[in-house]
Every structure is written in structure tokens, then in C-alpha cells.
Structure 1
Amino acid sequence: MAPPNDKVTPLSGPEKAVLFLLSLEEEVAAPIVAELTVTDLKKLREVASLMREVSKGSLDATYAEFIKRTNEAIAVPRGGLPYLKRLAVSSLGPRKASEVFDPTALPSSPLRRLEQAPPDAVASLLEAESPQLIAAVVARLEPRTAADILAALPSEQEADVLVCLAGMNDLPAGVLEDVAVAITEELPSPDAETLIAIDGVSKAAEILNAAGREQSTEVLEAIESQSPDLARDMRMAMFTFEDLRALDPKGMRDLMREVSTEKLTLALKDAPEDLMNAMFAGLSERAAKLIRDDLEILGRVRKSDIEGARREVVQVALRLEAEGTIDLGRDEE
């Protein structure tokens, strides 16, 4: 319900500032916003997100305080938060404005406390939560920190969390509210309708890479028992075709013996020169020359075919690593 038109509602300083800014034309307000600090803008953002309608009496009082005159009341001033965001972009530029208005950017203190707290203490806090909520939390942390926290959870829960994380495509910003309140009461409630784009498989793969081989192997085996396809996708995300350049000469020779010439030629189409040289080092001089010659006469190839061939080469490499034949350089940290 809108407030009576002449009722003067007491406003805080930030509320007055937001009301004043949002009642100005954009070209007038932009230079003012340019003089504000990021801290000031974040405070105004929080206030603007909560403001709805303002009575003429409140607007009159605010104008009287600022410039001593006004004649027009504004309900939901100029779109509120979106208008303030446009002002910030105009005056600060898109990059700096995104630091203030990005809905996924939670206040730093709760995340900083999680990053700095002992992993076992954080795990104890999260252990009673659902795997979905834990996945949402670790998705916001650095992979090394997330790996340490997950390692402190019961092993079966660790696998469940990574299954949930790998399946995430969109993360509701409001999903962190419950656990954030347990850490600090200073966290504002984010908009639960805001979706954060997340590549769950890639994020889970980053965490497993940070965890080291022993832990990641155990977790992947547990995930494979639930979803073999997901485990395969995560292994592929953890190691890419370009990573093969790190193979030692013996490992490269062992890998080349397992890959057909046709498949290798297709995989090397448009590959970086240093990667080709590394792979050719595992071949005889004659075999390397034949592939180079084939690459020179190979016509246009669909990108999907090249990527498919590269995936097959990586799958062979992962199989050889699992068999203990080659070392892909992912030692336990």
C-alpha cells in the first residue's frame, strides 16, 4: 500500500541520497555518482533495492534539505535500482560498476571468514546441511579451500556434494542465505530469483584437481558408482588435450602407440605448434613427417570432429594413467 501523499516518513541519510539521485536526470546524476566511492555506492545499492514508493511529503522534505525546493512526487523513482545501476555504468564504466551491482557478489567478510577458517571447522558447520547447499557454498570458494573442506566431510557426503555441484547450471543467489546467517548476521538477503551461471562439472573438476590424485581418485570412484557418465565428464574436464604437452618422452611414446594415425592427425588439426612438436617427439621421424604432410593437405574439418578426436586421445591417456603406464603429472600435493 502506498503511503499517504502528504505524509512525511522519516528517512535515513542513505535513503535521502538515493531518493535525491533517482529524481535527477541521468546526465545530471552521473557526475555526482562519479564522485562517490565504491563503499558509498554499495550502500546506496542496498538501500535502492529495498525502496518502493515514496510520498510527496517525504520527497518535499528531502528536496528542502538538499536544494530547498520541489514540486513533483515520484513513486518508485525512475525504476529504482536499475536506474542507479545505469548511472554507475555511465560514470564509472561497466567493469567498476559491476563490482558494485553484480547480484552474485556477496559481501566479502562471510566468504573471507570461510576461506580463513580451519577447514574442519567449516566442515563441521556444513555437515548437517544438504549436499545441494554445501555444493552451493563450495562453488563460491577457491578450489584449494573447497577441496580441504570437502576432505573433512565424511567420504560418502563428499561424493554426494560433488555430484550436486557437477549437476549445477544455475545457482539461486538466495540459496546461501541460511548458511551465511550462521556465519554472520551482516549478510544482506540476496534476491532468490537471481541466477548465477555456473559450469558445475568444470568447478567440480577444479576442486578435484586441487585435492590431489589420491583424494580425487577415491571421490571419482564413488561418483562413478552413482553416475558413470558424470564421472567420465569430470575426468575429461580435469585433463584436456592441451595438457598432454606435459607428458615426458616415454609417456608420449606409450600414448602414441595407442592412438591411430588417422585419429591423431584429426586431433592435431589447428593445434598449437608446441603441442604438435611434443606429440611428434613420441613418434618416429618418418611417422611424424607423414602426419605433417597429411595435415598440410587436410581440408576444412568440422570443429566438432576435431574436438571429438581430441577427446578420444585424452580418454586413451586417462586409461593409460589408470593402468599405471603413463604419468600425466597430477601428483598428490
Structure 2
Amino acid sequence: MSNAVAPHLTGLRKAAILLVQLGKDASAAILKSLPEHEVEALTAEIARLEGVDVEVLDEVLEEFRGLAKARQYYVQGGVGFAEEILVATMGKEKAQEIMDRLTASLVELPFEFLRRVDAKLILNYLQDEHPQTIALVLAHMESEQAAIILSGLTSDMQAEVAHRLAIMDRTSPEIVKQVESHLERRLSTLVQAADSTKVGGLKPLVEIINQSDRTTERMILEGLEKRDLELAEQVRAQMFMFEDIVGLEDRAVQVVLRKVESKDLAVALKGVREDVREKITRNMSERAALALADEISILGPVRLKQVEEAQAVVIRAIRMLEEAGEIVVARGGGDEFIA
């Protein structure tokens, strides 16, 4: 990795950026395997991440790729390897045809940089250009993005651009390149702003925690509280905790209960606050509530980990129903045993 762009990055910051890029599922699995102090440090760093320049992001990923490549058992690949396979499989002539198409597909398309800029901002720069230039640019853009630009032009300019676009056939690559370079220079500040990618922050941290098991979740939140109480409270406010069930509407609780098995519910309610248990039983039939109470009483002491796993089952059901739009959730803010 070159240090020209990001000499200031600590190993912790690089790891935080990488975790966000890997996504919530992979990040949760990684955090679960780390020591508690490393989980605390990483989650705090993820929460503090804001805009990260694309070049910095690329360098972090490149360093990770370099480290991975250094492990000799990783599979080799690349264009050369692909060509060798094709030649061995179907002969040199046919392989060359396929490789020509492949190589063409790997080349960046003209005006590719515009995909990273808001269409309305592009319109501000394009509307004073010659109609032929506008038509040429629109011809190389995604139709949705091009439609926004075309609709923002004056009616006379719309007609002129549409006509030129319709009769356009082939354009010299040199001319396309000249127009592209001209436009890229004019839009350089916008492209740079678009290239500053927002990674990290509360939202991805909450998503990672939501995919973690309850033990890891508790460990992360307790660690954040030690480091930054205000930040921990902000994270909790965006999460759904088991005790937040008391804030659900009764109808929502009834929908949730239909998705959870009674054995999981019984374990989940071991040692919870009375108002949480009462919220559950109030939304069950009298017979079902009595059966649940009996099931809880015969469980005996239950490991805290088992209780948290059962609560996670209930929380997953709530999140699934919320995502499906079936319920509305208002966000709030040695082995232990629950007798």
C-alpha cells in the first residue's frame, strides 16, 4: 500500500474502515471472534467514522488484498490466467474472440465519472453547452439520469437535443474523449465531492450490532459506555432492545407472539422486569398466559447466555415484521444465571 494518500491512518482506523466495507453480516462474525477490548475499540472507531476519501478507502482495501495475496494458498487468477483456460478449452481463435469482448467490457465507458455526480448538478453545468455536446453526453448516460437532465432544459433546448440524439449515429472516439475531458475538468470539484464516500457512523454500527448475538451486543454497548456514554446512548436509541417491547402497541405484540415459539418466549422472559412480562401476558389469552407462567416456573435456573439467545429470537422476529411493514417500532433509546 502506498502511503502517499493516507499516512495518518492507524491500524485501528484501517480495521474499522475495512469492517464497514465488508458489511454487517461479515463484520458481526468477525467481532464475535475478537477479544472484548478489541471489540470495544473497533466499534467506537466505526461510530466515529465519517466521510472517507475514495483514495483512502482504495488504499485500505488494497493493503488488505496485498496481505491476503501474500498467503500462498490463495487461488491465482487474472486476465492472463483466464486466457490460458480459454485457449486450452476452445482453441486460440475462439479464445481470442472471447478475450476481445472481455477486454472491451473491462474498459471504463466514456463519461463513467458522471455516474458519481447528482444529475441536477450536472444539469447546471450542461445547460449552457452546445446542443450537440449535451446530446453526446446524454447518449452515454443511464436513461434515468439522462431523463432528469433533459427534463431540466428549456423546451426549445429539449427539442434540439432530442433531435440531435435521435439522428446521432457514430462519433469519433477522439471527439468523445475531448468532450469527456472538457466536462470532467469543469465538474472536477463535484466529482471530488462525490468521491468522498461516507463510511461508518451510527447507522452501520447499529446494523452490525443488530446482526451480532446478544452477548456480543451487550459487550459492545458496555464497552462504548465506558469510552463515550453519550455515543452509547445514541447507539441504543437507534436499536431495539428486548425491554423495548413495553413500547410496542398491543396489536404489534400479538403479531410478534404468533411468530415466536412458547419455549423461546419462556426462556426470554426469565428474570426480565415485571412490566415487560406483563406486556407479553396481557396480549395472550388467559389460558396461554397461564401455560407460559407454568413453563417459566418449571425451567429452573437458566444461563444468562441462553436467556439472551432466546431474547434474540424474539428481537429477530420483531425486526423481520418491522421490515415487512407488518408492525411499527418506535425506537427508544464466569456464567451468570437467572433464577
What's the TM-score bracket when you normalise by the shorter of the two chains?
0.3 to 0.5
Instruction: Please give the TM-score of this superposition, normalised by the length of structure 2.
Output: 0.34
Question: Relative CO higher for 1 or 2, CA cutoff 8 Å, sep ≥ 6?
Answer: 2
Instruction: Please give the TM-score of this superposition, normalised by the length of structure 1.
Output: 0.34
